[in-house]
Structure 1
Amino acid sequence: MFNKSKSIFFQEGELDPVGAVVEENKLLLESVLSSFNWRVGQKMDYGMLLNFGPESKQTELKYTCSLTRLSNDAEGNFVFELNRTSAVYIDEILPDLIADKLAFEVGKVFYPLHLMVDPSGELRGIANTNQIQSRWPGVKDALRSYFQGDFFEEYLQKMEKLMLHEHNIFSAINRTDWFIRVFFQPFYKLYPAQNIARRQFFPNLPTLSMQYQLIENMMPELNHFGAIELIQQGLLEQDADYGIICSGRSEAHYIFHPQTRILLAANGYWESKVEGNQVLVGLRMFYLPEEDGDFVFDYNKKNNTTAQADLGTGSLNKQKDEKSTWAKLFNL
């Protein structure tokens, strides 16, 4: 699927952003992705596109979000604030089924979400659990004004149990959020010539104990656009720990800023077959620079205004053509 000798994101002639620094075929000094240089207070905006479900009936989901670097916690973990900056569109429309509407409205209780991340880039916990729990009574009361019925009451009971314990909140977010699971991986490390497999959970798997065996390769050269590229391939096989029959594979391509090491884009797919049930997930995530920003220097600007995205039918493609060269890479 991926050509390791040439980036699938940055094809010749496709991009020429104003102010970009092109460093074609520049050799990396060593196969190390050092920890990101993300200034406190700096905000980055991202677009997300997910296609998931069985191969015969895929559902599309898309939205925009922002990540802001906060001060480190007492243990030295990086802390980031995650916010949704648009509605969530399902198959090009706002949620119209009761279950989808309810899930979307309930989900608002988690934002802003403060994430604790270790120097390797791996998620370690939620820093503002108390705030989330304190927001829940108000959200619950608001929901009662326009939802009712047995399904609604059962949903509320499940949320009540979830909100009781910090571990439950962290586990729910850690198991279900694709942006978080893809963005916050232990990317920042040495990549030796002899690959060492690591295990990683992704939300298409039914339990946290089920994980892909991943092999990762960092490209030895910056691509022609001056970005760092990482190829990740995974295999899901029968394991005595799982206790069930399963198989699957994954392949993902990640793009990092050459100076700040911040993840700018991801494009991948995850396939799993568990007890005969097949699920395919395709994901495209991309950085949305400010309207007059560029690839290299946008990070250093003092004022970073959120890219406003209308995710309605057909509008994402039009607006991102004007505002973001990154969106063009994904044919959105």
Structure 2
Amino acid sequence: MLAAAGASLVAAQALVFAMGQSYESKPEQKAEQKQAQRQATTEEKAAAERRAAQLRQDMADVETKFRQQQSQAESEATRQQAELDAKWKSEREKLQQSKQQELSAAAGGQQRQAIEARFRQQEDVLNGKFKEQKQDVESRLRERRAEFQRQAEERKRSINDQLSSVRTSLGATAEQPFERVREQADQIGERYAQREEEARAAQPQEFTESEEVAGTITAIDAQEGVLSIDQAPDVSGPNAQALAEESPAKLMVDQKTTVMNGQQRLALNSLKVGDQVRITVVDSQDGRLLARTIMIEQIPGPRVQPRGYP
């Protein structure tokens, strides 16, 4: 809302002109709707592409983790088998030493044969025990590999399902607006309908048809080239004065035809073509204060006092 206190024909018509030459501009409404659709569609597409990139990274992470798990499991199995080999070798050497000691102490050939037979049996038992232990290590390694593979495949399927969903949403983005875009377009339409009604209500009906204005003030946004004001000016009554007192940085028009530049009060007849005035506009939708810089392009002509004012 553009705060104002009192009214002046010159200032009132200048402000209505500055607000976009009435809000009945249907092409402007359509352009804003299309821009909102493009922006929302672009945002949705960008979000989907970011999600797809993250999912592809997740897939790569699954592969990396799987390879690391496999490598770690194989390294652990190799270490365990090396320990078993070392232990088997040590126990076999002890067995051989015991065998040699007994053979050295044997009295005859028959006793030596018995010793040989007994130690062969012990060596077979030893070999069988370590062979079974090594097989257990290999079996556990296969089980761990299979479990890692199962987990990786399950995770990959989940990621692929999510990627398919993202690709579908990307296709929908390219083909048609999202529901949120359509709702936003409807909201813009409602806003413009409200603005048209407010702009019509703000027309200075209290002035006679014979009065005319020579010259206008055109507001140009320093950033975008167009000053966008979200609500028609209220140029009469205590409400305008209260709003002006609440936020003195707003553009304010009274019987003396002045504007507020921050905290500095300026008379319109003191402005020159090219002067810049910084004002604050209240967004009628969410109450945001939008600081704008406007430039005076054309100085108003003769002042005409409205009816009912001295």
For normalisation by structure 2, the TM-score amounts to 0.26
For normalisation by structure 1, the TM-score amounts to 0.25
